[in-house]
Chains A and B, each alone.
Chain A
Amino acid sequence: MHIDQLEKRWAGIALGIAGFFVAVILGSALFHGIHAPSNVETIDSAKLHLSEEFAEDKLGASTNPDGSVTVRMVAGRYGFYPKTLTLPAETKLTFRWVSLDVIHGVHIPMTNMSTMIVPGYVAQVQTELHHAGDYPLLCNEYCGMGHAHMWSNIKVVSKAQWEALNKQRGANHG
């Protein structure tokens, strides 16, 4: 069998390039914890309104004892619920998404907040949003005729503003 010297060398280079990419991916995943969103957790989509976590009054942002924020949202044809939301910048955010009907996808343009929302499963993404402003949430997976009209806005405010808002709300409730 004959394999040219040049070809052998090239195969080595190609192996090196692929190896380099694999090393970068493994390095960032294993040492920096940068992962694709994954959270194998099932839920009955037909009974969300009765569930502990995704009943209507539980949706939206809630602050955890450690200062991070968990955001619970439901996707359904054709919107994300709650419809409007204010979130703090520079804060660890855990989004938990469920679908009440078909498959949806959600992303915030130009950030790494992106996940598929598959009925029957809870999709969880952790991220931080760095800049204050209005962000659209866009449905990015075909979910039926209204797919292109499935979007919502979230408002990202500075951490200080967020704390002020929360105090106010606390006072009102108190």
Chain B
Amino acid sequence: MDNSVEKKLALTHFWVAFGAFGLAAVMGLYQVIERSGFFGFLESREVYYASVSTHGVLMGFVLTTFFIMGFGYYVATSSLKLPVWNKTFAWTGFGVALAGVVMAALPLLFGQASVLFTFYPPLKAHPLFYIGATLLVVGSWFWCVSMIVMYMQWKKANPGVPVPLAMFATTGNAILWLWTSAGVAAEVLFQLIPWALGWIDTIDAGLARTLFAWTLHPIVYFWLIPSYTAFYCLVPKQAGGFLFSDEMARAAFILLVVFSLPIGFHHLYMDPEQGHGWKLLHAVGTFVVTLPTFITGFTVIASLEIAGRLNGGKGLFGWIAALPWSNPLVLALILGLLMLIFGGFGGLINASYAMNAMVHNTAWISGHFHLIFGGTTVIMYFGIAYYFWPVLSGKPLYCPSLAIAQLWSWFIGMIIMTTPWHILGLLGQPRRIDSVHYNNLLTLSWEPYEVTMIFGGLILLGSAGLLVYILYKTQISQESYQGEIEYAEPIHAVKDLPNYLNSFGLWNAIIAVFMLIAFGYPILQFFLMETFGSGRWGV
């Protein structure tokens, strides 16, 4: 099958993603330097908060959304062996999303949208920022439709046959994103845009926060699922082995999609506008989502062990040494898992209903999500990029050992930067501050940690630069490469799969019920009680 158009489609999405990433990394380093206060001439709150907002939007919305779309298109065409459905439609989605990014970038860069990437009404950004962000989401919905249509086309042509696991996961992600982006879409369309344009005078910040919380946790799984897809479907083969269990992988993806949707409330544990009964209910749900992660950890490590032993590794731990550490995708997985283990402990504390009070909105949280998202998820994006680039561009990967160095440096930089962040959180440092000078004895103890973070930031920026350099050099190479994405085979071929592990129909109905229980009254209450909106406050 000639899929040169699909290759171009995926590669274009990837370039937008990593371009945004490179830009955001520069801002990240600036931010750690600025807040330390050691370089007086760099200090500016206006630039700092504009930078933090842009960094968050680029990393959290642009890198992720474009990467996920590019990855999805190519997974769909290569796993189903089908051309991408309606290519004009796919390119239109790309165009809409890109237009949105450009539109949002203007006010961001001019300091007219320094509201951070979670919006924070009644702080008010320029309307273009909200409209741009909405277009980015609308563009991504084109992708969701493409994925679902291709999945259905394939199922129709292959009745009763298990959908390839990679496509099953990708379709699950598209469904998850449609469900979860509805929350932020409602906030932006019915609250933020009319209010920013002056059509309505006040905004209910409590309702806005609740709608955002609807999106805020599943969005993390939207970012993570491509990484998990690589864990299950790509890495075992690259490591020289097999997938331990295809069925358990499907179960894990279903659990992720179904249970990550109705649990967003743990971001509101410390908020006054929701009662504690609802918070407690969501706390229970939050722990259910640890299940698929535990299962994934087990299945992936078991798959690696099989590979290590097939490569000749002996003894209890000999298989670890026998893994191909020089394969970028395998190394990315190993380092990603390590960061997931460290970050997982922190996550348990955040998720614990009452313990959360100790760390809520402190630097601990920034440390935690930089480890889990900036670490585990993003390092897998790197690994995937190194694996996909030669296939998509038709050029061999430029200097694979440099790619290995880049992955290690990202891991080391992330550990150096996030460890002090966690400690600062325990020492009470609030998150999102442009300066650490509070004229208080306690806060003086923060300074050495700020210095350490600058070193972490420097390593991370170097690593980010290296990534973009390697991808660019690969792209412009004169040599040619021919190869396709190879998916891992399960040890036991999948036969007689029950329908509930091969389709999402039943699960969508269950999600609808869960969402109604989890968010029905908590949203309805704002229309039942007397509420007082807030006006418009500039940033």
Contacts and interface: CB of A to CB of B under 8 A. Distances in A.
B354 A45 contact: no
Given A103-B122, A142-B116, A114 B360 contact: yes
Contacts, number: 233
A110 B428 contact: yes
B290 interface: yes
A118 B206 CA distance: 7
B79 interface: no
Contact of B539 (A10, A26, A144): A144
Contact of B290 (A17, A42, A121): A17
Nearest to A147: B433
Q: List 6 tightest A-B contacts by C-beta distance, closest first.
A: A109-B428, A14-B294, A140-B430, A140-B361, A148-B433, A123-B272
Contacts of B479: none
Interface of B: 45-46, 49, 114, 116, 120-123, 204-206, 209, 244-245, 247-248, 268-276, 279-280, 283-284, 287-288, 290-291, 294-295, 298-299, 302, 348, 352-354, 356-358, 360-362, 426-428, 430-438, 440, 442-443, 492, 494-498, 501, 525, 529-535, 537, 539
A36 B288 contact: no
Contacts of A103: 120-123, 205, 209
Interface residues of A, number: 70
Given A14-B294, A120-B204, A149-B435, A102 B498 contact: no
A73 to B, nearest CB: 13
B283 A25 contact: yes
Given A17-B294, A35-B276, A114 B270 contact: yes
A7 interface: yes
A39 interface: yes
Nearest to B438: A151
Interface string A94-134: 00000001110101111011111111111110000000000
Contacts of B358: 110, 112, 114
Interface of A: 1-4, 6-7, 10-11, 13-15, 17-18, 21-22, 24-26, 28-29, 34-46, 77, 101-103, 105, 107-110, 112-124, 136, 138-149, 151, 153
A97 to B, nearest CB: 8
A104 B126 CA distance: 21
Given A25-B352, A103-B122, A114-B358, 13 more contacts: A7-B299, A14-B298, A17-B290, A21-B287, A25-B280, A37-B276, A40-B274, A42-B532, A103-B123, A112-B358, A119-B534, A140-B360, A142-B123
B206 A120 contact: yes
Contacts of A7: 244-245, 248, 295, 298-299, 302
Q: Which of B206, B270, B273, B427 has the most CB of A within 10 A?
A: B270
A144 to B, nearest CB: 6
A41 B537 contact: no
B46 A40 contact: no
Nearest to B428: A109
